[in-house]
Amino acid sequence: MERVIYVALFTATIHMIDTLSYSVRLAGVRTRRLALALSLFNIIVLISRTANMIQAPLLGSIVDKAISKGEIKELLHSFRIIIFSATLGSLIGAALIPSFIEIFSKGIFALEKTGSIPKLLVKIIFNKPVKQIKNSLKAPDLYKIRKISKTGISPFFLIFNLFITSISTIGVLAAIYAGALLPEYRITASQLSGVINGTATILLAIIVDPQAALITDQALQGIRTKQEVTSMVFFLVSGKIIGTLLSQVIFIPASEVVLWITRKLI
């Protein structure tokens, strides 16, 4: 159970950072320095990738242990906890967005002045970072949520974001769980996670990202308002949270699909 908690914590961290990534465009519009915003966020993404690197072997050890002890039914319970941690991480990320935008906007201007990430890190370290962060903390503004409107935002774009999130959340987990159900071919099953997440990534690159980029660029050009970007971010974040909840529903069907494909391949 201890390892499950660790995996859940890493999963929550990954999804929290993924959720915060939606607000990078909003910070870019606010500061009118979108390229700098995207570049600076890549540093934060390293935390997510590090968590993912640690999470993967821990998850593998949980599955191997369950197979060796014949505790496959208990494994399903563990996977449900891990999926729930994705929802929890997304909710935490959503709550932190106002504070993140404030802190991140200051970071963008600081990067512009220092000219490099190493110099920026030195400046942060010697400039009382805890106090700066504390002064930048903001609670979610319910008044701004009331002003949210889907005008000018395609419902098709939002539905696909929800669908892609639900698939990508359980892509690896469904493949690994299918491998646990068919342990003699679990490597074949686990490798199918690349097909699932790859499909989700392609859909994200073709449908969601270009539309989000278009809305953001139009706001920078003055064609759209900042409020429209805020609405887009709100709906994308909401879709991510709902998508992780939907993952609980489609987890078993997705595992069965992976299991069916695995049997066809052997």
Q: Express each pLDDT in 23-78 by its tens digit.
A: 888 888 888 888 888 887 887 777 777 877 788 788 888 888 888 877 777 788 89
Per-residue pLDDT for 140 more than 80? no
Structure-token pair, residue 166: 């639900």
Q: Tell me the C-alpha distance between 257 and 255, whole Å.
A: 5
Per-residue pLDDT for 139 more than 80? no
Bigger pLDDT: 132 vs 61: 61
How far, in Å, are 28, 61, 113, 123, 167 from residue 31 at the CA level? 5, 45, 14, 20, 33
User: Out of 85-89, 173-177, 188-192, 259-263, which region has the weakest mean confidence (pLDDT)?
Assistant: 188-192
What pLDDT band is residue 88 in, cutting at 50, 70 and 90?
A: very high
Q: Tell me the C-alpha distance between 72 and 136, whole Å.
A: 46
- Token pair 């395609």 is found at 154
Task: Supply angle C-alpha 84, 86, 91, rounded to 5.
Answer: 95
| pLDDT given at position 184 | 84
| pLDDT given at position 38 | 80
Bigger pLDDT: 82 vs 138: 82
* Residues in Cβ contact with 215 at an 8 Å cutoff, skipping those fewer than 6 apart: 152, 153, 224, 228, 229, 232
Residue type, 50: T
Averaged pLDDT for residues 154-160 = 82
User: Out of 60-69, 128-137, 220-229, which region has the weakest mean confidence (pLDDT)?
Assistant: 128-137
| pLDDT given at position 89 | 95
Work out the percent of the chain whose per-residue pLDDT is above 90.
17
Structure-token pair, residue 55: 């999470």
The backbone torsions φ and ψ at residue 138, rounded to the nearest 5 degrees and listed phi first, read: -135, 140
CA atoms within 13 A on the CB side of 199: 13
Bigger pLDDT: 135 vs 41: 41
Residue type, 253: P
| pLDDT given at position 185 | 81
